[in-house]
A = this chain, B = another copy of it.
Amino acid sequence: MGKKLTKRAEDYSKWYNELVVKADLAENSSVRGCMVIKPYGYAIWEKMQKQLDQMFKDTGHQNAYFPLFVPKSLFEAEEKNAEGFAKECAVVTHYRLKNDEENPGKLIVDPKAKLEEELIVRPTSEAIIWNTYKNWIQSYRDLPILINQWANVVRWEMRTRLFLRTAEFLWQEGHTAHQTKQEAIDEAIQMNDVYAIFAEEYMGIPVIKGIKSESERFAGALETYCIEALMQDGKALQAGTSHFLGQNFAKAFDVKYTNKNGDLDYVWATSWGVSTRLMGALIMTHSDDNGLVLPPRLAPIQVVIIPIFKSDEDFNKVSSYIKPVIKNLQSKGISVLFDKRDTFKPGFKFNEHEIKGVPIRIVVGPNDIENSSLEIFRRDKMEKETINIDEVFSKVDFLVEDIQTNLFEKAKNFTNLNTREANNFEEFKDLINTKGGFVSAHWDGTKETEELIKRETKATIRLIPIDGATEKGSCIYSKKPSNQRVLFAKAY
């Protein structure tokens, strides 16, 4: 713990970096750009995984596992995809080390063990998976294929930040194959919706759904659906993407099926993924100057109970008093930590669990026994009250729901307040530079204008809203006609 956390208003970026470490979520490793996800951070990720996995299975998907490596010749088969990832690939070239004869005890790469064909550490798995699907698909009876994979991927990023951008990250990638274009589009939209529901109901993060402009699209996709969320510093974060891949990969890997009429046709594809980047979104959306704030549904510890005691006798009394409460809460599926460590003082524990974002804290001491009371504290509002011990179950039930709702409402309110319209480029620049947030504006639909706006303001098109109201207008930059506003923001 030690030093105080930097305040958000002082330096948001520094606040984030410090918080991730102080809350014991993750740290940088000795491998450039790769992180160590510590047990507390990983426990949150496990909760996210469990819920997402259930949602994938409920929508008919199964898990499978494909190789970590992609032979270069497969990697380059879908050219756009290959081009999109070529500049950030970790490449395996050798399969053996040998003793360095000039430096006893040291090893060198054995030049005799050079691979005939280099292997790419997967930055994403479309290539290796579609090369596999080729053998699984002959007829319409083999379709759809609805598969998800939980895996690690590597993209050699030059500037990395814990969770938000790391060379290796953990994710899930869904890869589906369909008979028709419409079925694939429906799948891509469905999974983007699943992400939106997960983000809002479990992470407490309000998101906006939309599609990406061509230049922000996934390399190799015909359409990228996405969810975007607004962070407290007014920058947007892409929280999940779902791609309609058309027949691009089927063509690159020659994957055809015989339809019911006996005709051969290429298969239609989607892919969709969320990653440990969601941890970054979770941290940045809710946390405050006191540390992490976690929504109860994803908190590894929902209630921490801290006993106050100066003697073993006191501890035993307090312990007997509170044990039935612990048992009862646990039987209701609430995760409770009874922090009875005698190697740390209560003040240290208060601080530790505050910075780690435990949603509810209960404190009990010898005086509470006489009064049949206990102190209960909610992390989101930093409010405490003393209640009768009989009220504790209904109070915890209430808080678990109320904190979850409160965090979402607060973030929703923030997003609404920070989504503004601009009707000309001066207004736009002013909003982007002084207020941040989402700026809703007309755009002429061209790459060129998008690029020019980006160059001048650093803002990018985050999404074209789905079901957005059509509205005649003119592009803020080129003044050419436009039928719909799109959302701009500076982004992570």
Query: Which positions in A face B, CB cutoff 8 Å?
Result: 27, 29-31, 34-39, 42-43, 45-46, 62-72, 74-76, 79, 82, 86-99, 105-107, 109, 118-121, 128, 131-132, 135, 141, 147, 151-152, 154, 156, 168, 170, 343
Contacts and interface: CB of A to CB of B under 8 A. Distances in A.
Is chain A's binding surface mostly helix, strand, loop or mixed? mixed
A70 B30 CA distance: 8
5 contacts: A31-B69, A42-B65, A72-B107, A92-B93, A95-B156
B107 A97 contact: no
Nearest to A86: B97
A86 B96 CA distance: 6
A259 to B, nearest CB: 14
Given A69-B31, A107-B82, A63 B90 contact: no
Contacts of A38: 64
Contact of A62 (B42, B94, B170): B42
A30 B63 CA distance: 20
B82 A89 contact: no
Contacts of A36: 64-67, 132
B95 A109 contact: no
Question: How many of these chains are in the complex?
Answer: 2
A211 B90 CA distance: 39
A39 B64 CA distance: 5
A119 B132 CA distance: 28
A92 B123 CA distance: 14
A31 B67 CA distance: 7
A135 B36 CA distance: 12
A68 B154 contact: yes
Nearest to A74: B30
A152 B122 CA distance: 13
Given A36-B65, A72-B107, A91-B95, 17 more contacts: A27-B135, A30-B74, A31-B67, A34-B67, A34-B68, A36-B64, A36-B66, A43-B62, A45-B65, A68-B121, A68-B168, A86-B97, A86-B107, A87-B97, A88-B95, A90-B95, A93-B93
